[in-house]
Amino acid sequence: MLGAYYCKAGDSQSIFDNLNISRSVDYRTHLNSYNIINMSLNSLPENGNTYENYINLIKDTLRDDLMEAYPAFRDKSFRKISDMLTATNDEFIFIIDEWDYIFSHNLYTENQADFLEFLKDLLKDRPYVALAYMTGVLPIKRYSTGSALNMFKEYTMLNDPSFEKYFGFTEEEIAALCRQQTILTLEDVSEWYDGYQTRDGSRIYNPSSVVCALEDGVCKSYWTTTGKMDEVLFFLKYNIVEVKEYVIKMVNHIPVRLEIKKEYTAGQGRPENRKEIYAAMIIYGLLSYNDGEIRIPNKELMLEFESSLEDSDFDYVAAL
């Protein structure tokens, strides 16, 4: 969507003219006005699973694309990607998806600071950067003591007064989707996938699971296909004594009060106490947090928590 709006390689006016953005005073100023660099950082190299292979895949892909767009560069030598981009004398909008892939998958841990330096060199204070969007799960503020990427404004599930309603489907959107089929009702979908909410109390639904349920015509847990449900047991095992009291309450549908002020961030390392554990689980969407209360948001996740408690390390908790 962002690429379609900003990219000057095509004319997308007919797509956006009837949408809310067309009422912005700057709508036509930015429409189809920029070069776009679209990067998804979740691709691992085929020729070897090392950090050097990973970062070289990113750099080589960028170099190849730039030389295709600027044929004159083929006869020149550049030390860095940033030097190539500066030499274009053009402005670019960067759209970077899954920026935190190596952090959230615990890959190349010894090289993660180097990866942040690569992004810093590519994006920070560069004349060719008109705008940069980066999406991922984990915030970045506290990773580096040098604040390598402190030029970004972050929006997360734990702290976002501006865009929180776009993190999932709203109840109005769910109702409209349910009316398009006759198998699942709004009540069915709400029981399974509701449980998150914005600061003003608006309901937010897990979009991925809702889509799967409506496509399949059945409500069930779809988190197991995302790879993130292993995080439930992963986080709970860090500090069983600290968390078991709250886990007992939440699996019995009792919310617990805990003030979470600091977010779990990329590269932070293992959460060491109860607040850090729950902050991590909120960021991943495994728990909902509103007005100082933490809870298991819906039936889908309740089943996953109950399944996690069957692990032998939780015999006492599971018995309760």
In a domain, 172, yes or no: no
Q: At residue 46, what are phi and psi to the nearest 5 degrees?
A: -85, -20
User: For every one of its 320 residues, what pLDDT tens digit does the chain have, with 9 covering 90 and above?
Assistant: 999 999 999 899 999 999 999 999 999 999 999 999 999 999 888 877 899 999 999 999 999 999 999 999 988 999 999 999 999 999 999 999 999 888 878 789 889 889 988 999 999 999 999 999 998 877 765 444 555 677 788 777 666 667 877 888 999 999 999 999 889 999 999 999 988 887 777 888 988 899 999 999 999 988 765 555 566 666 666 666 667 778 888 888 888 888 776 665 655 566 667 777 888 788 778 888 887 888 899 999 888 888 777 766 655 555 55
Q: In this structure, are 202 and 307 located in the same domain?
A: yes
Domain boundary among 101, 118, 134: 134
In a domain, 147, yes or no: no
Q: In this structure, are 204 and 311 located in the same domain?
A: yes
Q: In this structure, are 116 and 47 located in the same domain?
A: yes
DSSP state of 184: S
In a domain, 65, yes or no: yes
Q: In this structure, are 209 and 101 located in the same domain?
A: no
Q: In this structure, are 199 and 313 located in the same domain?
A: yes
Q: In this structure, are 126 and 191 located in the same domain?
A: no
Q: Strands 129-134, 92-97: parallel, antiparallel or unpaired by DSSP? A: parallel
Distance between CA atoms of 2 and 280, rounded to whole angstroms?
28
In a domain, 173, yes or no: no
Domain boundary among 134, 168, 196: 134
Q: In this structure, are 316 and 193 located in the same domain?
A: yes
In a domain, 242, yes or no: yes
In a domain, 251, yes or no: yes
Q: What is the pLDDT of residue 264?
A: 58
* First vs last C-alpha separation in the chain: 48
Q: How many domains does the chain have?
A: 2
Q: In this structure, are 192 and 300 located in the same domain?
A: yes
In a domain, 170, yes or no: no
Q: In this structure, are 185 and 315 located in the same domain?
A: yes
Q: In this structure, are 196 and 104 located in the same domain?
A: no
Query: Is residue 214 within 8 Å of 206, Cβ to Cβ?
Result: no
What residues form DSSP beta bridges with 197?
203
Give the domain range for residue 240: 180-320
In a domain, 152, yes or no: no
Q: What is the pLDDT of residue 312?
A: 61
Distant-in-sequence, close-in-space partners of 235: CB < 8 Å, separation ≥ 6:
271, 277, 280, 281, 286
Q: What is the pLDDT of residue 233?
A: 66
Q: What is the pLDDT of residue 212?
A: 93
Q: In this structure, are 130 and 259 located in the same domain?
A: no
Q: In this structure, are 320 and 184 located in the same domain?
A: yes
Q: What is the pLDDT of residue 234?
A: 67
Query: Is residue 231 within 8 Å of 284, Cβ to Cβ?
Result: yes
Angle at 280 between CA 277 and CA 282, to 5 degrees: 110
